[in-house]
Structure formats: structure tokens, C-alpha cells
Structure 1
Amino acid sequence: MESALYYVTIALGFSIVVNLILKRFGISQIIGYILTGVTVAYGFDLRHMADSHTLEIIAEFGVVFLMFTIGLEVSLQRLSTMKTDVFFNGSFQVILSAVIFFAIAYGILSVSLATAIIISMALSLSSTAVVLSYLKSTKEIARPYGQKATGILIFQDLAVIPILILIGFLSSDGKDIGDVLIQTAISAVVIVGSLFIVGKRVMTWLLHFSSTSEVDELFMGSVLVIVVASSLLASYAGFTYSLGAFVAGMIIAETRYHHKVESDIAPFKDLLLGTFFVTVGMKIDLGLFVQHMDDVIAILFAVLAVKAIVIFGVVRMKSQSKVAFKTAIALSQVGEFSFAIFALAGNQELIPSELSQILVLVVVLSIIATPFILANLSRISGYFFKDVSVTETFAMLPGRNHHIIVCGYGVVGKFVAKELRASGVDYVVADNSYKHVQEALRDGQEVYFGDMSKTAILDKLCTKDSVSVIITLDNLEKKRLICEAIIRYAPEVKLVVKVVSLEEKRALRGLPISITIDGKKEVASRLVSEAVTCEL
């Protein structure tokens, strides 16, 4: 026990120092955790612990908590709106990538049929832990390419289930695949149905009573129980821990507790994700890497190129070229679930040990390279796409303060922007209508494409640092949603809202809006003012 605490303390201290140094250079902390794993493994001769089942379980729960937070943002309603990204883009990407990798492995490199199937499926997956951690921390998840990437990653996580089932079938003798698929389908229906029907009631009840107790530890404990219990239930039925956590997150996303749950769970997710990346670093075999460096580098670049081309082609079918390109580059690496696939296949003797080690090195190097690629994604895409998309210009806003945000560029919005410009006031325009954004660009306005009822867009617009927000929209429902979002996100910001009728005034009466401007009343006042001051 003493030695375990000693190694944990050393690893924790080293990772803190390394990440503090890397932070100064703008390098992802993921790299720091991987370097910690390499240093601890070789510095204390602990490479054998990289295959520790207990350590792998602990590390896997980092991905579990990440999937839970993703589920919090992907409610059933939102999933229905993302069906193209999840089911169309996701399925096409996985199938096409797997077919190409299978053709290369089986047809060109002449590996066995079972080995080629496993390799092709493992390499078709991307890294949920790395990509979504970056997208969430930088708010890039709200961008078009972030939405596409998230949808594809969700499908990939679901695809892990049949992949693991297939490995079990390949390793079994005489087991009918039809029976395996039927049992899996029944288990999936039972588990998901239980979580949504029974689990939803239990989760809501538990969160309600723990929140009314006003004791933070009880609420946090309730969340941990929900995550772990859902994960164990899914694992017991033969699925991944992550699937249970993802479904639990989707259920809580339908309740009013999802924002508090997400903020409370963040420290556990980040700490366990750090553990996961430490174990990734411990898997690096430096001797084998030096011996097969040429092979590893060649396979790495081939995998990155094939996946990028496939993803670009799939996403480009229904999206702009720039969005497709950024999505392709962001998801070109190999995912962490590949470790589990290679390990399971190795244990079942479905893949040679040395080939498995080489592929693990390819996965590790692709994960190491990904944070650098993501951090420079806009710069990379800039070399190929010189035009600035109206959906991709938020990068110019960080650090903005003491500005006014004009929400809506309709008739009134245009007059407001004109008056602000004439007064020399610093302002930006935001609109969720592509047509209005194009009009604003033609008028030389600094305009951003986004829905201001979304927290991620408010964050990108530096709303907390603005002087005020002027809402010029006509749609009452959208107007109220935006007001509620701004009041919740930045309650200290002055909110000025245009209303056009008494009904609108009544509908917004319950909100702490700073000023409401009644268009009809102001026109009447101006008419009277002009009438009594004119010369007869």
C-alpha cells in the first residue's frame, strides 16, 4: 500500500509540474499526462502495470464520465436534430473506413481474415476522450465542425458494442452469430428501456431530494451513484461502461438538474481522464518504437490520410468544404477504444503480439499528435480555404469587452447598428439567419452567425464582458428564450428589448429585463413631440 501511494504521489506531482510548464507554451495537458505515464513507467520500472486490469478500469472511468457529460448535452430532442450527423455521417464513416483498412490489411499486407477484420474496425474509430475534451474546453463544440465531429463520435461509441461482440464471436468455437445478435438486441432493449422507464424516475427522485437537502455532498454522491450504477448495469449486460453513462446523461438532460450536474461532475471527469492518459503513456514501448520506427510512422500517416479523406468525403455530401475539412482533420486519429479492442483480440490470440504492440504505438502517437493538430486547426484550414465563413469567425472575438451586442439584423437591427456606428460605439451584430448575416456582411458590419439562446454562443460573443445587449427580434418565443439565456448566463449585463404590442410586454413581464422599448408607444410619443414643437 505504501509503495502504491508513493508512485501515485510521484505521478501526480510530476504531471502537475509538466502541465504547468506546457501551459505556458499553450500545449494541451493531455500531452503532460502521457509524458507522465512514460516517465513513471520507465523511471520506476512499472511498465508491467500498464496491463493492470484494476488500473485500466479506473482509467476507463475517465472516458465514462466524459461520455456522461456528453449525454447531458445530447438530449433525445437534440439527438433527433443530430440524426444526420450521428446516423448518416457516423455510419458511412465507420463502414467506409473499415472497408478500406480491411482491403489494405487483407488484400495488400496479407494478414489473416480475423486479424484484418479486427484491425479495420479498430482503426475506423476516433478519440472521444481527446477530441471532445478539446471541443468542450474551447467551446468549439458549438461550431458547425464541432457538431459534425460530436455526431460521428457518438455513433463510433455505439459501434464499439457490435465490434466487441464480433470479437467474442470470432474467438468462440461453433457459436452461432445469429444467437449472439439476438441476445445482444434483447439485452440492449432491456437495458435502455430500464434506464429510460425505471431509471428516469429513480434518477429524478434521487436528484430532487438530494438537491432539496441543500447539502452539496449528498447531491454529488447521488450523481456518482447514477453514473456508476448505469455503467455497471450496461457492463453486466455485455455492453461498454460508456454506453450506460451516456444513456444516463441523456436522461438527466431532460431534467432541470443537468446544468448543476455537469458543473459538479467536471472535476471527477478531468481527474479520471488524466489517469486514462497516464495509462496511455505507460503503454508506450520505446524499444519497439526504435526498432520499428519506419513501420510505425508509415502506418500512422497512412491511417491519418485514409480517415481524413473518408470523413471529408462523407461530411462534404451535406456540408460546406471548410466544415468537412476541419471535421476530417479533427477526427483523423485513432481512438482510445482501440486499446480495448487490441487487448481483447490479443488475449483471444486473434492478432499477433508484435503487430498488436506496433498498432498500439500508432494509436498512442496519433493521440499525442491530436492536441497539436486541434490547436492549429483554423490555421491549417486557412492554407486551403482562404474565404471566411460566417459560421467560423468567432476566433476574432476573444478578449473583447465593453462592447454592445445587437441581436438580430432585421429592419430595426439595421437602424440600431447604423446609429451605433454613427455614435462611434464598439458593437457587434449576431443573427441566426444566414440571409441576415449575408446582408450585414455586405453592409460592412462585424456580424456573427449563431443562436444567442445557446450558452456557447453567448460565451463566444464575450457577453459577460459586454455593456449591454439590444434584442431587436420580432419572434416572441425566440426573444424570450434569448432573454432567459442571457439573464441566466450574464445577469449583470444590461438587457434592452424591443416590444411591439401589449401582449409581448405581458409575456416578458416575469423576466428581469432592464428596459423594454414599446415601438408603437415611442412612435406615438415622437409624433406628438414633433407636432407640438413645429412652427404653425
Structure 2
Amino acid sequence: MLMQNILVYIIIALGLSIVINIFLKKIGISQIIGYILTGTIIAYGFDLHEASHSHELEMAGEFGIVFLMFTIGLEISLAKMGSMKKEIFANGFLQVGITTIVTYLLTHYIFALEAKSSIIIALAFSLSSTAIVLTYLKSSKEIYTPYGQNATGILIFQDIAVIPILILISFLTNEGDQDIMVILWHTLFSVVIVIGVLFTVGKKVVAWLLHFSASSEVDELFMGSVLFIVMASSLFAYYMGFTYSLGAFVAGMIIAETKYHHKVESDIAPFKDILLGTFFVVVGMKIDVSLFIHNIGLIISLFLLIFMIKSLIMFALLRLTATSATSLKTALFLSQVGEFSFVIFALAASGHIIDDKLASLLVLIVIFSMVVTPFFVPYINAITAKLIKEKDIVTDMSALKGRENHVVVCGYSVVGKFVTQYLEELDVPYVVIDNSNKHVKEALNEGKEAYLGDVSKTSILEALNIDKAAAVIVTLDNLAKKRLICEAVLNHAKNVNVIVKVVSLEEKEKLADLDITTIVDGKVEVARVLVERMLTCQLKYS
């Protein structure tokens, strides 16, 4: 009977979430809100508030974060992590450290909370939402922009920082019965074992298993192998005293070094999205509407305080090395409180470090933060444009460091716009480069990853990673400029595919001496399309 009830709840939740998200999609609201609303409706409709705190349900929700961390790992290979060391280890460490110190001082000395409670709250509030921010950055393709890379690096450090935070909670729960040096030594030893095993034995096993399952040409076997790798790595990390997410993240990094990472990422996406939805349904089930209503003023006030503190700290920190616009965008993207705070507050409450009522209030602040964020993030670019009037267009190409298999679109006039549209339809990663402030600004306003620069310059070619690009598409009209760009690209990278648009036979002849992969004559292509369209027409009879 119990099993039947569980199945009924799952079916209702699934159907309700679909209906709500279809409606929200039409009005441009994130599906995360739909999942949270589903959880709240289910909890109150069937009186499942106690069930929302069950270990089994929380575990199911947590695996949404596990698969999210796995997909992040797929995009952060060891080489890329090395190239992002400033974003991850410098910006990330300073952001978490300074935010924790400032929040601790406020909670302990202004709000008069105990030192233990203050340090846990400060650490939890220093974290941002990986699930919301990275999901948005990936879907909007802003993850490759300078602020997208800064946000990604800081989020990665925050996720790594969860591990010592959980260890600290364990130490505080034990009231210091165990020597802290013993705990730290055990933790260090465990880290060495986890990383060592996963990157030595695990790497060989993963490579063999993926090759073996891919050679079978049976999709379900390949998918099964990927799921096994994720689950096994997660469980191994958990049994060594860490979070499931750490194992999944490392597994993703290992697969990122193989030739199967693109296939794995596309195959795993539906599982990640469904499980991530489960996580937010569980979050919605934890909402205590009556407690929220009675404390709505306090919750909103504390949220705004946290929002301002995190934004100001991050802006000041990033402004040392980035432009005002990039710093503000990154700060606003990471101004909310993250999903790992739920885990931290739950463990702290169960260990009697934080009072249960205080923990419930803190959870509502986190939920309010996560509900508001999806409404807010789509307007960050517009807000930044109004607050900061920068004369310079994007020239910082540091986000392109380590980029591979991308298409470089030279020029963003009429043809360039159509090229980017077709590339988006094919889901091909690309960047736009133009020497016109007007065109670059136009591309940025349309949500494209665009940079200002002269592609005929060696420094720009190196910044664009032309030697690792899949192709360079030249859409400019000026013949002299086209030739300079083609010569520079071919001299810099002999094997790159260069596709050039010409408008006359004369232009084609003037470029004939260059080793251009494909020259597209606009007039010839129009004539070909006209004939093709004619052949598809039905004959008309009088």
C-alpha cells in the first residue's frame, strides 16, 4: 500500500511539474520555479512535510547535483583547470574567505549569535547556486564570456570548499572529542587516495570501458557505462568521507580527457535535468508557508543584506583584475545563496550546532534566494548596461584560453548574423570577432559571444586560439581586409579550415593564390538556390 502511495505521488508530481513548466516556459520563467512550486503544492496537498526531510528523498534530490557536477567536470579538463587557476583558486578563495569573514562578524557581533553558529552560517552564505547559475550560463551560452568564466571558476572553488565545510561541521558536532589534527591528517590522506585512485586506476578503467561500450555500437550499453562510472566514482568519494559530488566531478574531468566527452555530455543531459528537477521539488517540499508569511519582512531584509554584501565584496575583488562591467555581472550572478547551504544547515541542526527554528528560518532565506534568482539573472546584462557606461567594447579574450573546436566568425554584418543563426541551429560553438565597435555592441546586445579586434593581427589570432579552431568563416565585404585576414590565419595555422565569402569572380581570382579551404561566391550560390527552389515547385497548368 505504501509503495502504491509513493507511485501516486511521483506520477502526480511528474504531471504537475510538466503542466506548470509548460505554462512558465510560455511566459519566460525558469523551470526551476516550476519544480519548486510542484514540491510545495505536493507537500501541502498530501501533507508530506515530514517526508520532505526523509533521507531517501534527500538522496534522490542530491543526485541531481551529482549529475550537474559531473557535466561541469566534463567541461573542466585538467588542462582547462590549469588555465583557469586564477578564476578558481585566486578569485574563488578570496571570495569565499572574505565573504565568510564579513558575514561572521555581522552574525556574531551584530546579531549576537554563538561563534559556532556564526561560522557555519557565514560559510553557508558564502556559497552560490551552481545549479541555477551554471544552468543559465550554459543555456544562454554566456559561460564562455569573461564574466561567465569568472563565475564558473568561483563556483568550482565553492563546490570544492563544501568538503572542508562538512568536515568542520563534523568536528564541531563531536565537541572536539577528536583532535583536529587527526581529522585533518585523515582528510588529507583520504584526498590523496581518492584523487590518486580516480586519476590512475580509474582513468584507465574509464577509458577502457567507454571504448569497449562504444565499439559495441549499442547506445544503451554506452549509456549504462557512463551511469556506472558516475555512480561508482560518487560512492567511492562518499565512502572516503567526501560528498558524492566530488567523485562525480572528478569522473567528469577524467572523461573530459577522452574523445567521448561530447557524446557523454549530450547523452547524460536528460538524466541530469530530471534529477536536478527532483532536487528542486524536494526544496519546494521544505517550504513552510506559515513560517514564511509570519517572517516575510525579516526574510526579505536578510536576503537583501546578503545580496548586497556578496555583490559588493565580489565586485571590489574582481575589479582589481577585470573591467567594471565584467566585475559587476559576475558579482550579480553569484549574489544568491546556493543549494549546498541546505545540506550544511541540515547537518548543523542535526548536530545541535544551530537551533532548529533558526535553521528553518535560514532554509527559507535560501529558498527565497533561489526562487528570486531565475527571475533576476536574465536581466543582469541590461542592469549592468544601465549602471555602468563603459566606452570600450569587450576586448578581454582571456575566456578563450584553452578553447577548442570552435568556429571563429569574422564580421557581424548581414551575412555574419545569418551565419551565427545557422551555427546556433546546429548547436556549433562559435565566437564573433569584428573590428567595428558598432557591430560588436550589436552582437553583445543580441547575446552573442563577441570581441573587438583585428583578426589580421597575430596577438588576436593567438587570443582566439585559431590553431585549435574548427574553422574560420570570413564574412567581410572589403577585399583588402579579407586577404589580410586569410594570409594571417593561414600563416598562423596551416591546417585550419578557412571559408571566405566573395561577391564577384574578380574577388575570387584575387584570392586564388591563397590556400583557402572554400571560397563561396554569393552570386553563384544564389543562382544555385534559385534553380533548386524551382525544381521543388509544382507545375502550373492553364
For the aligned pair, the TM-score class normalised by the smaller chain equals: 0.7 to 0.9
Answer yes or no: is the 8 Å Cα contact 2:325–2:390 preserved in 1.
Answer: no
Residue 485 of structure 2 corresponds to residue 482 of structure 1: no
Q: Given the alignment, which residue of 171, 174, 178 partners 1:175?
A: 178
User: In structure 2, how many angstroms separate the alpha carbons of the residues matched to 1:183 and 1:134?
Assistant: 37
- The 10-residue stretch of structure 1 (291-300 or 62-71) with the greater mean CA deviation from structure 2: 291-300
Which letter does structure 2 place at the counterpart of 1:440?
A: S
Contact map agreement 1:500 1:520 (CA 8 A) in 2: no
Q: How far off is 1:132 after superposition? A: 0.7
Structure 1 residue 513, shift from structure 2 partner: 6.7
Unaligned runs of 5+ in 2: 397-406, 421-429, 474-482, 503-507, 515-542
SS in 2 for 1:376: helix
Aligned mate of 2:103, from 101, 104, 112:
101
Tell me: CA distance 1:198–1:55, structure 2 relative to 1, closer, same or farther (3 Å): same
Tell me the SS of whatever aligns to 1:284: coil
Q: Tell me if structure 2 keeps the 8 A contact 1:34–1:281.
A: yes
2:290 corresponds to: 287
Return the offset for 1:427. 3.8
Shift in Å, 1:253: 0.7
CA contact (8 A) 2:39 2:284 kept: yes
Displacement, 1:518? 9.1
CA 171–479 in structure 1, closer or farther in 2 if over 3 Å, else same = closer
Q: 1:380 aligns with which of 383, 386, 392?
A: 383
Shift of 1:383: 2.1
Superposed, 1:41-190 pairs within 5 Å as 41-173=43-175, 174-190=177-193
**Residues 443, 449 of structure 2: 8 Å contact kept:** no
Instruction: Quote how far apart the aligned CAs of 1:52 are.
Output: 0.9
* Percent identical residues: 48
Q: Helix, strand or coil: the match of 1:351?
A: coil
Contact in 2 for aligned 1:308/1:331 (Cα 8 Å): yes
Would the alpha carbon gap of residues 445 and 512 (structure 1) be closer, same or farther in structure 2, given more than 3 Å must change? closer
* Cα distance per residue 1:11-57 (max 9 Å; x no partner): 11111010111111100000000000110000111111110101111
Displacement of 1:378 in angstroms is 1.4
Give 1:481 deviation, angstroms.
Answer: 3.0
Corresponding residue number in structure 2 for 1:242: 245
1:30 and 2:26 correspond: no
Please name the residue that 1:222 is paired with: 225
Residue 467 of structure 2 contacts residue 493 of structure 2 at CA under 8 Å; is this kept in 1?
no
Whole-angstrom CA distance in 2 between matches of 1:505 and 1:125 = 42
8 A Cα contact 1:64 1:242, kept in partner: yes
- Which one-letter code corresponds to 2:89 in the other structure? F
Q: Match of 1:168, as an amino acid?
A: S
Is residue 299 of structure 1 aligned with residue 286 of structure 2? Answer: no
TM-score by structure 1 length? 0.80
In structure 2, the CA distance between the partners of 1:375 and 1:189, relative to structure 1 (3 Å rule), is same
Number of the residue aligned with 2:526: none
Q: CA–CA distance in 2 between the matches of 1:180 and 1:187?
A: 10
Aligned to 2:520: none
Give the alignment's Cα RMSD to 1 decimal.
3.5
CA contact (8 A) 2:467 2:492 kept: no
| The one of 237, 246, 256 aligned to 1:253 | 256
Q: Aligned-pair distance for 1:328? A: 0.8
| Cα distance, 1:82 vs structure 2 | 0.7
- The answer as to whether partners of 2:408 and 2:472 remain within 8 angstroms in 1 is no
In 2, Cα distance between equivalents of 1:230 and 1:137: 27
Q: Distance in 2 between matches of 1:107 and 1:507?
A: 64
Match of 1:39 in 2: 41
The whole-number CA distance in structure 1 between the counterparts of 2:146 and 2:408 is 22
SS in 1 for 2:143: helix
In 2, the alpha carbon distance for the partners of 1:317 and 1:500 equals 37
| 1:371 aligned to which of 370, 374, 377 | 374
Q: Quote how far apart the aligned CAs of 1:473 are.
A: 8.0
Quote the offset at 1:480 in angstroms.
5.2
Q: Residue type matched to 1:8 in 2? A: I
- Return 334-343 or 107-116, whichever deviates more: 107-116
1:264 aligns to 2:260 (yes or no): no
Distance in 2 separating the partners of 1:11 and 1:144: 38
Residue aligning to 2:401: none
AA partner of residue 282 (structure 2): T
Q: In the TM superposition, what is the alpha-carbon distance from 1:484 to its structure 2 partner?
A: 5.0
Partners of 1:498 and 1:519 within 8 A in 2: no
What's 1:322 paired with?
325
Give CA deviations for 1:200-233 in whole Å, capped at 9, x if unaligned. Answer: 1000000001111100000000000010111111
Q: Is the 8 A contact 2:410 2:416 kept in 1?
A: no
Paired positions, count = 471
* Aligned 8 A contact 2:43 2:49 in 1: yes
Given the superposition, is the C-alpha separation of residues 219 and 484 from structure 1 closer, same or farther in structure 2, using an over 3 Å criterion? farther
Q: Specify the alignment match of 1:414 in structure 2.
A: none
- Sort the Cα spacing of 1:337 and 1:485 in 2 relative to 1 into closer, same or farther, 3 A: farther
Secondary structure of 1:47 counterpart: coil
CA contact (8 A) 2:147 2:329 kept: yes
**Could you tell me how far apart the structure 2 residues matched to 1:506 and 1:288 are?**
63
- TM-score, length of structure 2 as denominator length: 0.79
Cα distance change of structure 1 residues 214 and 88 upon mapping to structure 2, 3 Å threshold: same
Alignment counterpart, residue 210 of structure 1, candidates 210, 213, 218: 213
Distance in 2 of aligned mates of 1:479 and 1:143: 17
Is the CA contact 1:473–1:479 (under 8 Å) kept in the aligned structure 2?
A: no
Q: 1:335 aligns with which of 330, 333, 338?
A: 338
1:5 to 4, 7, 20: 7
Take 2:467 and 2:149, find their aligned partners in 1: how far apart are those partners?
25
- Residue 391 of structure 1 deviates from its aligned partner by 3.0
Q: Letter of the aligned partner of 1:213 in structure 2?
A: S
Aligned match of 2:350 in 322, 347, 356? Answer: 347
CA spacing shift, 1:211–1:388, aligned 2, 3 Å: farther
Cα distance, 1:131–1:519 mapped onto 2, change above 3 Å: same
Describe the shift of the 1:10–1:445 C-alpha distance in structure 2 as closer, same or farther (beyond 3 A): closer
| Residue 109 of structure 1: how far off its partner (Å) | 1.3
- Do the aligned residues in 1 keep the contact of 2:466 with 2:493 (CA within 8 Å)? no
In structure 1, how many angstroms separate the alpha carbons of the residues matched to 2:4 and 2:154? 44
* CA pair 22-188 structure 1, distance change in 2 beyond 3 A: same
What's the secondary structure of 2:50's corresponding residue? helix
In structure 2, the partner of 1:440 is 436
Distance 1:303 1:505 in 2: 49
Residue 389 of structure 1 and its aligned partner are, at CA, apart by 5.2
- 1:131-171 CA-to-partner distances (Å, cap 9, x unmatched) read 11111111111111111110000000010011100111111
What stretches of structure 1 of length at least 5 have no aligned partner?
394-404, 410-416, 451-456, 462-470, 487-495, 524-536
Q: For the structure 1 residues 302 and 206, does the alpha-carbon distance in structure 2 shift closer, same or farther, using more than 3 Å as the test?
A: same
Following TM superposition, by how much is the alpha carbon of 1:382 offset from its aligned partner in structure 2, in angstroms?
2.2
Mapped partners of 2:509, 2:88: distance in 1: 44
